[in-house]
Chains A and B, each alone.
Chain A
Amino acid sequence: MAQLHLNFAAFILGVPIFAVIIEIIGWRTRDQKYDWLSHELVKLTFAAFSTTALLGALLLFLFIGYYPKFWTYMTSIFFPTYWVYALLFFAETFTVYLWYYGWDWLQGPRKWIHVSLGVLSNVFGTAILFVANSWVTFMMSPAGIDESGALTGGVWAAITNFTWMPINIHRLIANVVFGGTIAAAYAAFRFLGAKTDEERARYDWMGYIGNFIALSAFIVLPFAGYWLGREIYAFNQTMGITMMGGFMSWLWIIQAILIGVLFIGSNYYLWLGMERIPGSERYRKYVPPMLIVLAIGFMVWATPRSMVVTLDEARAMGGTHHPLLGFLGVMSAKNTAVNLMILTTFLSFVLYRRANKIPLKPWSNTGMLVQWAVFALASIIVVFYGVYGYFVESLVRIGFSVYQVVAVLAAIAIVMAIDIPMFKGARTTGAIRWGTIAPRSQYVLIILAVTFTWLMGLMGFARSGIRQHWHVYGVLRDTSVDAVTPALGYAANVITVVTIVFFALVMFIFWLGGLAEKGKEGQAHGHGHAAPVIAGGSDESGGRA
């Protein structure tokens, strides 16, 4: 129930962030199709609002019914925040209503007011997230209390516990990714069922935008996760060790597989997308080496430290660590793999971005050379610290991952700082033939959304599971008969059921949105949110794959 509520909460918090970014782009570029897309997304969010609130209320009732002492204890600490939460909820609801219903009213010179409403509703939404996170993180890493569990440092001390801010940032970024993948999956679904080239072009473009924003946020998500991991260790070594090396150690192998699917899927979508861009042929030669790096990175990241083996096999190997592959199962190898995968994904994006552009700046050759040098240098730093990590103590090794992360982030910043001015006013080799992308690319978008939602469930299990038999870690023990933390198989089955229920409800909401649209057929143009015609949608020369 908590995970289902959280999926919906992420949906109604993530999609508006995505929507307001799109609206701002449309406002600044005066491109109406962005405004249409933003309006479409807010409409979907609107329908999901009440479902989220109902699930939240049901979750609260279950807490009170099944765990009354736990709820009493949490209330003794956090009661003042309940008021803040409720007030913020009112504020967000009214602002989103105004944002949605004022779309036509606040156009033209008043558009900035409308955009501000969008930003404000996201500020309220994010504040709600932060308040709820204070309860959840207090359960993981309680602070501001004495040995008897009584509040001593004031409620602010309980709120600002070790994991509060890392989870705030991690969830905020993850919500943007989630919003993007859901929007892209919605577009993919509409693309596959489209009857005309115009429709296909529109939803191809929408899917691209959704995936682009999701991918941009996704690239930095592992760094936020790393910060959260560090804070968990800083709060309590036992908890950190239980999380990474205890009964949860195999969870990270599943996580690696899911993130590997997300990386490879995102890249594959970009490569397929390049086929509808005239001039992209120049960059096709880079695809095989990038695929090799991603595949090797995926395999390394998904290599377990201890293998699933029979007793005889373990005896033959001299333990459960494979004599060769065991070396790839440690963090030095995994950090190196994930950083190289991030760099490769960024390279895919850079190539996609310039696929139909030829820079005209006189310094473009030097600029490109510097960009490649930055990529090479970042890769060397990542590999160097990955290898060096095998020869130092664990405490030193942990610090190396910071250098790897900084190298990758710096490379992204420098390459983009050169790329943006270099391609300003560039010559185009032809317009993107929207709608002509291969239909299999749309299944990739759907797989990305499903995988990311499933991953959210898995991480939810990790976050709550590391408390084991504690409601509030080390303070309030779960003495019920259900205090067992289930094994991964059981947890995975529950995650699958929750994800199916979530998507079934979302599909129902989308269908409801579609009903309203059908009812307005013929009036759409008068409403001011007519679906835009995307350039290339009727381009017969492109043909469909």
Chain B
Amino acid sequence: MRIPVGLKVAAVSVGVMLAYSGYANYIPQIESKPPQELSLEGGNVTPAQLVKAGEEIYKTKGTCEVCHKIGEKGTRAPDLAGVGSRAARAKPGQSAKQYLIDALIKPNDFIVEGYPPIMPAVDKPPIALNRSELWALTAFLQSLGGTVDVALADIPATAGAPAGGGTATAAAVTVPGDPKAGKAVYTGKGACGACHKANDIPGTPVGPDLSQIAKIQTPDYIMKKIIDPKGMGTVAGFPPGVMPQTFGQSLTSKEYLDLVAFLLTLK
């Protein structure tokens, strides 16, 4: 039987493409997932928890591993083994933590000899670490041969990316709620102050301080967290399962939008 030319051509073409696809499926499969925002502000975090969180940032959102190795000389960037103790001697008159913080947010101010000035400021997009993340990352770097003594207050208030990491994102988001009415929901029906502090509104530290929540979290996160606190996870250092799961039923749509609008003013 004579096979039509069209069929032969189609078979060859599809066969070639399947071979390419097959190979692409055989090699290592690595997805690039959007990094999660980490908030530690107001939390009772132990140094060990802080270092663990910092190591995670080092490997994921911080993308540090692309250039830096620990215990191995890199061609693009210095070996970070022992940087915790080495940092104390790097610049006279500067403490280890101060040197490390500067190296993260102003990397080109001091370049280690023999390496090109290619490191980006990690608190600026596209890496865009927030203050909590800078704090944790500094702690992790200190732990590499040094003593962890960095506090959140050591991280400059001006450092850290706004919510969402991209400045244009924050500018683009508007919620059709009334922040004034939202403040009333916060202090009244929502009783948020029972667990959270928010600037001048006092609260017990059962949950994280929300004074800068709009800066350190995305609007999307805030909205979901009110409706489904369990599904959004628990901030490190705080007890899980405390936040009520019932706001989705107890608040009206207007109250919910007003509350979100109020929280988005907390920067």
- Say if the beta carbon of A107 comes within 8 Å of chain B: no
What are the residues of chain B within 8 A of A490 when measuring CB–CB?
29
A residues 229-259 touching B (CB-CB < 8 Å) = 236-239, 241-242, 245-247, 250, 253-254, 257-258
B residues 108-158 touching A (CB-CB < 8 Å) = 116, 118-120, 124-128
Contact of A236 among B16, B120, B164 (CB under 8 A): B120
Distance between Cα atoms of A450 and B19 in the complex (Å):
12
Contact of A394 among B30, B31, B75 (CB under 8 A): B75
1/0 per residue, CB under 8 A from B, across A145-178: the answer is 0011100000000000000000000000000000
Contact of A237 among B35, B118, B169 (CB under 8 A): B118
Nearest CB of chain B from residue A489's CB, rounded to whole Å = 4
Distance between Cα atoms of A488 and B23 in the complex (Å):
10
Distance between Cα atoms of A247 and B29 in the complex (Å):
9
What are the residues of chain B within 8 A of A69 when measuring CB–CB?
169, 172-173
A485 in contact with B75 (CB, 8 Å): no
What are the residues of chain A within 8 A of B171 when measuring CB–CB?
148-149
Tell me the count of chain B residues lying within 8 A, CB to CB, of chain A: 50
1/0 per residue, CB under 8 A from A, across B14-39: the answer is 10111011011111111111110000
B18 in contact with A496 (CB, 8 Å): yes
Question: Which of A90-98, A271-279, A399-407, A467-475 lies at the interface?
Answer: A467-475
What are the residues of chain B within 8 A of A499 when measuring CB–CB?
17
Q: State whether A474 and B32 are in contact (beta carbons under 8 Å apart), knowing that A192-B5, A237-B120, A446-B13 are contacts in the complex.
A: no
A: contact size bracket = 35 or more
Distance between Cα atoms of A394 and B9 in the complex (Å):
46
What are the residues of chain A within 8 A of B166 when measuring CB–CB?
149, 470, 472, 474-477
B34 in contact with A478 (CB, 8 Å): yes
Nearest CB of chain A from residue B7's CB, rounded to whole Å = 11
Contact of A73 among B9, B118, B168 (CB under 8 A): B168
B28 in contact with A308 (CB, 8 Å): yes
Distance between Cα atoms of A236 and B171 in the complex (Å):
24
B167 in contact with A484 (CB, 8 Å): no
Nearest CB of chain A from residue B115's CB, rounded to whole Å = 10
Q: State whether A258 and B20 are in contact (beta carbons under 8 Å apart), knowing that A247-B30, A446-B13 are contacts in the complex.
A: yes
Distance between Cα atoms of A500 and B76 in the complex (Å):
41
Distance between Cα atoms of A495 and B14 in the complex (Å):
12
Distance between Cα atoms of A192 and B33 in the complex (Å):
47
What are the residues of chain B within 8 A of A500 when measuring CB–CB?
13-14, 17
What are the residues of chain A within 8 A of B201 when measuring CB–CB?
none
Q: State whether A503 and B13 are in contact (beta carbons under 8 Å apart), knowing that A475-B168, A479-B169 are contacts in the complex.
A: yes
B120 in contact with A238 (CB, 8 Å): yes
- Say if the beta carbon of A289 comes within 8 Å of chain B: no
Distance between Cα atoms of A447 and B166 in the complex (Å):
43
Distance between Cα atoms of A485 and B33 in the complex (Å):
6
Question: Interface of chain A, helix or strand or loop or mixed?
Answer: helix
- Say if the beta carbon of B218 comes within 8 Å of chain A: yes
In the complex formed, the residue of A with least CB distance to B33 is A484
Nearest CB of chain B from residue A173's CB, rounded to whole Å = 22
What are the residues of chain A within 8 A of B28 when measuring CB–CB?
250, 308
What are the residues of chain B within 8 A of A148 when measuring CB–CB?
167-168, 171
B9 in contact with A189 (CB, 8 Å): yes
Q: State whether A446 and B9 are in contact (beta carbons under 8 Å apart), knowing that A246-B66, A454-B20 are contacts in the complex.
A: yes
Nearest CB of chain A from residue B37's CB, rounded to whole Å = 11
What are the residues of chain B within 8 A of A478 when measuring CB–CB?
34
Contact of A446 among B12, B18, B21, B25 (CB under 8 A): B12
- Say if the beta carbon of A72 comes within 8 Å of chain B: yes
What are the residues of chain A within 8 A of B119 when measuring CB–CB?
237
Distance between Cα atoms of A253 and B35 in the complex (Å):
26
Distance between Cα atoms of A477 and B18 in the complex (Å):
34
Q: State whether A465 and B17 are in contact (beta carbons under 8 Å apart), knowing that A394-B75, A474-B126 are contacts in the complex.
A: no
- Say if the beta carbon of A486 comes within 8 Å of chain B: yes
What are the residues of chain A within 8 A of B26 when measuring CB–CB?
308, 489
B220 in contact with A479 (CB, 8 Å): yes
Distance between Cα atoms of A443 and B15 in the complex (Å):
12
Distance between Cα atoms of A496 and B29 in the complex (Å):
17
Q: State whether A493 and B27 are in contact (beta carbons under 8 Å apart), knowing that A149-B167, A237-B120 are contacts in the complex.
A: no
Distance between Cα atoms of A73 and B170 in the complex (Å):
12
In the complex formed, the residue of B with least CB distance to A253 is B27
Q: State whether A246 and B21 are in contact (beta carbons under 8 Å apart), knowing that A73-B168, A476-B169 are contacts in the complex.
A: no
Distance between Cα atoms of A397 and B113 in the complex (Å):
18
B32 in contact with A470 (CB, 8 Å): no
In the complex formed, the residue of B with least CB distance to A191 is B5
A residues 202-244 touching B (CB-CB < 8 Å) = 236-239, 241-242
Nearest CB of chain B from residue A381's CB, rounded to whole Å = 24
Q: State whether A450 and B17 are in contact (beta carbons under 8 Å apart), knowing that A149-B168, A474-B126, A477-B164 are contacts in the complex.
A: yes
What are the residues of chain B within 8 A of A479 when measuring CB–CB?
164, 169, 218, 220
A250 in contact with B17 (CB, 8 Å): no
What are the residues of chain B within 8 A of A475 when measuring CB–CB?
125, 166-168
What are the residues of chain A within 8 A of B168 when measuring CB–CB?
73, 148-149, 472, 475-476
B24 in contact with A489 (CB, 8 Å): yes
Contact of B27 among A237, A308, A477 (CB under 8 A): A308
In the complex formed, the residue of A with least CB distance to B125 is A474
B66 in contact with A193 (CB, 8 Å): no
What are the residues of chain B within 8 A of A454 when measuring CB–CB?
16-17, 20
- Say if the beta carbon of A370 comes within 8 Å of chain B: no
Interface residues of A (CB under 8 A from B): 69, 72-73, 147-149, 189, 192-193, 236-239, 241-242, 245-247, 250, 253-254, 257-258, 308, 393-395, 443, 446-447, 450-451, 454, 465, 468-470, 472-479, 483-493, 495-496, 499-500, 503, 507
Interface residues of B (CB under 8 A from A): 5-6, 8-9, 12-14, 16-18, 20-21, 23-35, 63, 66-67, 75-76, 116, 118-120, 124-128, 164-169, 171-173, 218, 220
- Give 16 new A-B contacts, CB below 8 A, not counting A237-B118, A479-B169, A507-B6: A73-B172, A192-B9, A237-B119, A254-B24, A254-B27, A447-B13, A469-B34, A473-B125, A479-B220, A484-B31, A487-B30, A487-B31, A489-B29, A490-B29, A493-B24, A495-B21
List the 4 shortest-distance A-B pairs measured between CB atoms, nearest first.
A149-B168, A492-B24, A474-B125, A489-B25
Task: Give me 20 A-to-B residue pairs in the complex whose CB atoms sit less than 8 angstroms apart, sorted by A's number.
Answer: A149-B171, A189-B5, A189-B9, A238-B63, A238-B127, A254-B24, A308-B28, A450-B13, A454-B16, A469-B35, A475-B168, A476-B166, A477-B125, A486-B31, A487-B30, A487-B31, A492-B23, A492-B24, A493-B21, A493-B25
